[in-house]
Structure 1
Amino acid sequence: MAREVQLIANIGAWIPQVPLQGPEQTETISDTAPLPPAQRDGDSVPRGAPDDEIANFWSFLTSPSVMVYGAGGRVPHMPDYNIREEDLSRIVDVTPDSQIPGMGQQAAFIPRNVDVAGPSPHEGPGLDAILTPALPLMLTQRTRRPRGPPLPDTNQCPEQEWEQMKPIIHRMYLEEGKTLDDVMSTLSLVYHFHASEKMYKSRFTKWGFAKYSKKGGSGRDDRHHATAPQRRRKRPLIARGPAKSLVRRRLHCPTAPVSLLESPDRYRRKELTVHCVQNYISALFQSKGWMADMFSISPPAGTADHSAGWRQVEDQCFGVSVLIQGSSIKHAFQTLDGVFQSLKPLAAASDPSIVVKFWPMCHRLHGICVSLDDRQLLYAFLRHFRELTKNYFGTKHPVFLLLNALSHVEWDAMISTLRVGYLKSIHCMESVIGADHTTVLSMWSNYIKYWDRQSLHQAVFAANFTRLLAAADAQFGEKSEKAISVLHGFTYAAFYNFDDQMLSRQLAEDLLGRTMELPHVNGEYQWGLESQSFAFASKVLALLCLREDQRDESRAYLADAISCLERGDRECKTRAVMLAEDLESWLKSWGDIHSAEALGQKRIRLLSILSDGK
């Protein structure tokens, strides 16, 4: 079947020296390249920022040579494909020994902290009895790593799997000098190889693996056994207080196929993704001044908080997918132009919101590419973000290295690489701010929805959200931003991940009641957390009513939301279009053609307003 939509066949052309098709070819990054000065928060334009490349982005997209209009399809959810990795003969490794521009601290590694600290929710005191530590917490405070019970020794990995992993372990542990925690985390995430620390140490003894000695049993040249650079191991950054694991712990699962392990370099970009995420978060939070309570993360004094900016960019990406679903291609790429423009100031700052929002954005852009049957959009986004980071911080910055690695990942390997990067980001954030922090809960909820619903530990998840919501209501008030944020996350998890209709309805009704009075400027509603929560709660309640064949109630929830949001700013109007499309399709299925046509005219009018840039 011929493609109905061809939009961005040459979208990579506006980024200098970027191939037009697929991922970039493998390149080598020099470790000795000079670093430009880091961008200060007060500077509006970086030195050498590529402004000209996107100044006329919309004009480029709408040129006849690029865009042919047609009927757009629905953006599908993206499965975790069973895929192969690309061959990779060389990849530059990242070490934590060099100074990272813009960070001011030497990077250390954060081990994954998934083990449950304290009693299980199924035994002993309940979660409500666990005391919350004194907050806010200085994130540079170092505490002993809380370890849960070790993996049972009866869960022995087969000898064949150990032999398959031996050269990879040798390279990472001895040649590259990574810590055992880092090796264990990377092998678990990238190669699906799970073993306890005791098992690793026993195997090292058997193989003769010992750092800083001439011993080794891999059969390689002796120079590989003693040249691992000695590094002073830093104590990990761990948030104090209860850390309840939100996922069921899997003791062991099969490793990657033997055919892939015969060429381990195919996984090196995933390894690099894991390492860059860990390196970035570690270096960021070792800089002084970062604070955290149960609900938020605050930057050092005198440093701007960019969390709202990242939330806005993520919302814009969602708006792009909404407009494409409704075949509103022109309006979608007008919004996309705003996404690229908004990245410029955000790329100038080191902020934890990058690892919180970046992965869902890439996931959504990947879905748009699948819907349009054109892969260039995601690669253009990665390369544009990479060039901005390069101009601000240079080529040794972990975000640049991360984006550069992702820009080279082949399409068939992209979705699984994004999954690994997102999961590592959650593990690292969990180890820094705690497993029961609002940010971590929301990250888990989004990840589980798309990638791993079977691993959800629902009882722990719900208990953490319940405790956080009660604390936010008591401390800040029910209509405070922090309370609404927690309730929004709880409702999202209950509806998408718990499959609990009663709990979902209860939470959505509460959320809708708290957000009926939306913020406005000169009579125009403004998009933000309140309006987003209002739209989301309305949609959830409408869907729940639809499941119970309560048509009038379902229609009323969406109609009220559309009537409100259409009087808002551009993002509000975009959500009104989305809800109007849903209600229009329902009305047609119910045989109410007249109402459907009237709503369709309203939707077209809103799209016309969006087309005018309003």
Structure 2
Amino acid sequence: MASNITPKRLQWAGPTDWEEKRGVITRLYSSENRPLKEVMEIMEREYGFHATMKMYKHRFKRWGVVKYVNALNARKIARLERDDDLHHSSRGALVIRPQATDIATPMASTARAKSPHPPAANGAELLPQLYTRVSSPFIRDESAFHSVKLYYDVSFGSSSTWTQVSPSSGVVEVKPNLPQIRDQLQDLHTRFRIALNKLTVKPTNPAELVEGIKIMRVAFARLPLVLASEDPILINHILDLVRRLQDSGQTYLESQLRRHIAALAQAPGQPHSTTIISRILSSGFPLDRDHRVLLTQIVVEEFRQHLGPWHFETLQLEMWYLFNREQDWQSRAHVLRRLYAKVEAGVGKDVFDDRHLDILMNLSSALLRAEEPEQVLEVTGQVFSDSARRCELDKHPDHAYNFYWLSAKALGKQDKHLEAESYVRMAMGIAKKRVQEDNDDDVTYLSAMEALVTNLRNQGRLSDADEVHNEMQTWIRNSLEKVGEKEDAT
């Protein structure tokens, strides 16, 4: 008897589905170097994601996704493409830099295979001839991406400094000491940025330049401690600092940072993450936006797999990925609003915790940079005016500091400097309390003092501003002393 059941119509992937699964597809096809047919089977079986081969190829073209060039095939590619190059003068080229490829490996492989082709005299002769037919605007360094993936694969285990296997549930979770590790990394990143701002912008007086040099010296002195902590997003932060130094034209400082990390990586007892960072930096790994997007994609997928999509750490990295992917602040604000709605739908609208605060804080920061102070105050005001949200904010002093800071900045852009002062002083109060409790020179206190100096000068209260500036000088001097530096060594 014929069945009356109508077969369910296959639902093809739509634009939203492609964006949601972009990271997984890219990882399978590009990072793991799987054949397209196998990628399609995995996506259908494990994710219920249905698309034709033509659809995949169309998306790969739009995303700029290509297969990595394996160093083991370097000699074969060189030989074939060098012969073909005589007949094709114009094509897209994917250049493999000499320092990014260990030429001994493909050369040894060729010798074992007893190839009839004579070997190249040296790597310098061979490598400039390496091309593929793929048109690509940037270099893809296979070894760097795979090193990063391997680092996170290994790190998600009980021996890691920041994850552990829960004895009750048996799942991977973040260790309690991670907030302290994260504070050290954020502190280092902020010191570098403050120092860089003072060194790159023409100072109104020579004291600005001297302050920048002193703060940078403290940052370098604290670097070994931060590298040893193996923060989950350490790699991203360090590469971001190198990129900032490149963009600012501070080639000397960039060179010093690279050398410092290379020296630390060779020291006994250094964690594996330091070695990987040093390897990436020494390989000539490009830090353009496209490479940063791919790098962050790998990390986000690792965290989703091990900690889940709604974990605080996963969401932080997803925001970093979105910031790298989008090119302007308006677009970044837009995708952050979408992420917030996605989290609300995922964890429930009756939930409001540090994850929501973190997204709203980053949204406010993006709106501020997009020159939308009214919208910044609207976002922060939604937290300040809601008693439940305000109570949650008070549980997280770091977020409270940032909300006060961003509100003050937004009011300053509206020339409401007197109102802004109250928010600056609230932020400064949080930072000062932290300094007293930890007996440390927390850099957020320096940021708050700088903001207060600017605010007071905008109000015309120059003597008050000078008083706070003198306090800043004392703080910087104490920072130098705590890391064993002398003030007059600048």
TM-score (norm: length of structure 1): 0.48
**Aligned with residue 411 of structure 2, among 545, 550, 559:** 545
Alignment of 1:485-564 (within 5 A): 486-497=355-366, 500-501=375-376, 502-507=378-383, 514=392, 516=394, 530-564=396-430
Could you report, residue by residue, the CA deviation over 1:236-285 in whole angstroms, capped at 9, with x for unpaired residues? xxxxxxxxxxxxxxxxxxxxxxx974699997762112212223333444
Alignment of 1:446-457 (within 5 A): 446-453=320-327, 454=331, 457=335
DSSP-derived class of the 2:49 partner: coil
Measure the CA separation in 2 of the matches of 1:492 and 1:438: 14
CA contact (8 A) 1:515 1:531 kept: yes
DSSP-derived class of the 1:150 partner: coil
Q: Which residue of 2 aligns with 1:462?
A: 340
Could you report, residue by residue, the CA deviation over 1:175-211 in whole angstroms, capped at 9, with x for unpaired residues? 9xxxxxxxxxxxxxx98xxxxxxxxxxxxxxxxxxxx
Measure the CA separation in 1 of the matches of 2:309 and 2:59: 32
Alignment of 1:299-314 (within 5 A): 306-314=177-185
**Aligned with residue 303 of structure 2, among 429, 433, 447:** 429
CA shift at 1:554, angstroms? 1.0
CA shift at 1:602, angstroms? 2.9
CA contact (8 A) 1:434 1:440 kept: yes
Q: Which runs of 5+ in 1 are unaligned?
A: 1-112, 118-142, 176-189, 192-219, 225-258, 348-352, 518-529
Measure the CA separation in 2 of the matches of 1:448 and 1:278: 19
DSSP-derived class of the 1:298 partner: strand
Structure number with greater CO (CA < 8 Å, separation at least 6) is 1
Measure the CA separation in 2 of the matches of 1:160 and 1:385: 41
The answer to which of 434-443 and 462-471 deviates more is 462-471
CA shift at 1:504, angstroms? 4.0
CA shift at 1:116, angstroms? 3.9
Percent identical residues: 10
DSSP-derived class of the 1:435 partner: coil
| 1:373/1:448 CA distance change after superposition, 3 Å | same
Could you report, residue by residue, the CA deviation over 1:13-61 in whole angstroms, capped at 9, with x for unpaired residues? xxxxxxxxxxxxxxxxxxxxxxxxxxxxxxxxxxxxxxxxxxxxxxxxx
**Aligned with residue 274 of structure 1, among 141, 145, 170:** 145
Q: Which residue of 2 aligns with 1:235?
A: none
**Aligned with residue 237 of structure 2, among 357, 360, 366:** 360
Which amino acid in structure 1 is aligned with residue 46 of structure 2? R
Which amino acid in structure 1 is aligned with residue 173 of structure 2? S
CA contact (8 A) 2:157 2:172 kept: no
DSSP-derived class of the 1:420 partner: helix
Could you report, residue by residue, the CA deviation over 1:538-582 in whole angstroms, capped at 9, with x for unpaired residues? 111112223444322211100232244235426665212212222
Q: Which has the higher helix share?
A: 2
Q: Which residue of 1 aligns with 2:471?
A: 602
| 1:323/1:165 CA distance change after superposition, 3 Å | closer
| 1:541/1:292 CA distance change after superposition, 3 Å | farther
| 1:547/1:171 CA distance change after superposition, 3 Å | same
| 1:373/1:430 CA distance change after superposition, 3 Å | same
Measure the CA separation in 2 of the matches of 1:557 and 1:265: 48
Measure the CA separation in 2 of the matches of 1:322 and 1:267: 27
Could you report, residue by residue, the CA deviation over 1:49-92 in whole angstroms, capped at 9, with x for unpaired residues? xxxxxxxxxxxxxxxxxxxxxxxxxxxxxxxxxxxxxxxxxxxx
CA contact (8 A) 2:227 2:234 kept: no
Measure the CA separation in 2 of the matches of 1:443 and 1:410: 24
CA contact (8 A) 2:173 2:307 kept: no
Number of aligned residue pairs? 359
Q: Does 1:438 align with 2:282?
A: no
Q: Which residue of 1 aligns with 2:284?
A: 410
Measure the CA separation in 2 of the matches of 1:167 and 1:606: 49
Q: RMSD over aligned Cα, in angstroms?
A: 4.9
Q: Which residue of 1 aligns with 2:100?
A: none
CA contact (8 A) 1:322 1:578 kept: no
Measure the CA separation in 2 of the matches of 1:318 and 1:159: 34
CA shift at 1:159, angstroms? 13
Measure the CA separation in 2 of the matches of 1:339 and 1:535: 24
Alignment of 1:106-505 (within 5 A): 116=20, 145-150=46-51, 153=54, 168=69, 261=132, 270-285=141-156, 290=165, 298=173, 306-324=177-195, 325-326=197-198, 327=208, 328=211, 329-344=213-228, 346=229, 353-354=231-232, 356-368=233-245, 370-371=247-248, 372-374=250-252, 375-384=254-263, 386-387=265-266, 391=269, 399=273, 402-410=276-284, 413-416=286-289, 417-453=291-327, 454=331, 457-458=335-336, 460-466=338-344, 483-484=353-354, 486-497=355-366, 500-501=375-376, 502-505=378-381
CA contact (8 A) 2:411 2:420 kept: yes
Q: Which runs of 5+ in 2 are unaligned?
A: 1-16, 22-43, 77-92, 95-109, 115-129, 199-207, 484-490
Q: Does 1:580 align with 2:474?
A: no
Measure the CA separation in 1 of the matches of 2:187 and 2:325: 22
DSSP-derived class of the 2:222 partner: helix
| 1:404/1:601 CA distance change after superposition, 3 Å | closer
Which amino acid in structure 2 is aligned with residue 361 of structure 1? I
DSSP-derived class of the 1:536 partner: helix
| 1:583/1:404 CA distance change after superposition, 3 Å | closer
Q: Which residue of 2 aligns with 1:45?
A: none
